[in-house]
Structure 1
């Protein structure tokens, strides 16, 4: 089964921290370009996410995450630039790679390779099968530091991004 990028989304909640957190913004970073294959009979999937195509603060996703405070286009672009260049170093690590295997009926073992490091976690998931379509959805929490990433900060850490990131996903795969 081939992943349908147009129907799939991975959204990551990025929260501000530090003593001057009130001066910053919370963000939602998303991919609507998840690519790869799902092999239901082998209970596995191999996916990749082109980091250069990540979006920041899509209005609908901000609303879903309860982020009502508006963010300027300049702040969004600055966040995206800092994220890709200084945090993810996307020029050197252009993709997030995800290998998934089914641990049991309700749990996936997910290995995420980002920034040259791999993190393996078990996470609950909801799996639906319908005719020629499979949908896998769920949520998990990861830490940037698990990938050797130092969360972005300015002013000596007075304004920073929290290490912990909440992630929600919906992956749709279609039988070809």
Structure 2
């Protein structure tokens, strides 16, 4: 059996890089106040005017991002699932408008049930998960400088059924507008919106993790799926 010193050295360097990437970094604290630019006053005023307004129920809402590995040494890494169960926001259906935000420091990484739903066949250790989360917030998302992801929806004129939403996302200091297919369901108590789409990290000025010239890397394209539940607020006409 031949021994390839150069290959062994590369693998050793790759492992060292993974360990360094997963090392504990200073914990990014979630902000206690909402983003200054979040237009809550708009929705409260609409409610006073008797218009229907819905508020997102974080307990029944979920945003999941699937981040997949790539590169010739991808087997040394893991795919990841990043999730938020603390979506905050409002919907004004008469205006075809919604505004939401997520505090990045409250996102969770690699919940086993969500990994299974994504079809991932590995499970990182707890220390790997904590290291990945810290690395994501500190180095990739720079959540200390950009603590929120803000989402604005316009043109949602339909109250139910399959729709195409114009979704404006502000993340990492960059803003992009995407057309997102979604399904709206409504009942006597409120409404739910669900959908799935992909985007590229570099569109938001985010540099995907890469080591050894891309031998170990994270794909630029990520998949995002969501389900948001918003009960109707009392007081509307």
TM-score clears 0.5:
yes
The 4+ residue runs of structure 1 with deviation greater than 2 A are 102-105, 154-157
1:19-77 deviation line (CA, Å, top 9, x unaligned): 21110000110000110111111111000000000100111111111113121111111
User: Is the contact between residue 101 and residue 148 of structure 2 (CA under 8 Å) also seen in structure 1?
Assistant: yes
1:159 aligns with 2:219: no
State which of 5, 12, 15 in structure 1 corresponds to 2:68.
15
1:139 aligns with 2:192: no
Matched residues, number: 176
Alignment partner of 1:82: what SS? helix
The structure with the larger Rg is 2
**In the alignment, what sits opposite 2:207?**
150
CA RMSD of the aligned region, Å?
1.1
How far does residue 154 in structure 1 lie from its aligned partner after superposition?
Answer: 2.5
Asked which structure has the greater RCO (Cα within 8 Å, sep 6+), the reply is 1
State which of 185, 188, 202 in structure 2 corresponds to 1:128.
185
For normalisation by structure 2, the TM-score amounts to 0.72
**In the alignment, what sits opposite 2:101?**
48
Separation in structure 2 between the aligned mates of residue 109 and residue 151 of structure 1, nearest angstrom: 25
**In the alignment, what sits opposite 1:32?**
85
Alignment partner of 2:139: what SS? helix
For normalisation by structure 1, the TM-score amounts to 0.96
Alignment partner of 2:60: what SS? coil
User: Is the contact between residue 94 and residue 157 of structure 2 (CA under 8 Å) also seen in structure 1?
Assistant: no
**In the alignment, what sits opposite 2:150?**
97
Separation in structure 1 between the aligned mates of residue 115 and residue 167 of structure 2, nearest angstrom: 25
How far does residue 153 in structure 1 lie from its aligned partner after superposition?
Answer: 1.8
Extract unaligned runs of 5+ from structure 2.
Answer: 1-53
Alignment partner of 1:6: what SS? helix
Extract unaligned runs of 5+ from structure 1.
Answer: none
Alignment partner of 1:98: what SS? strand
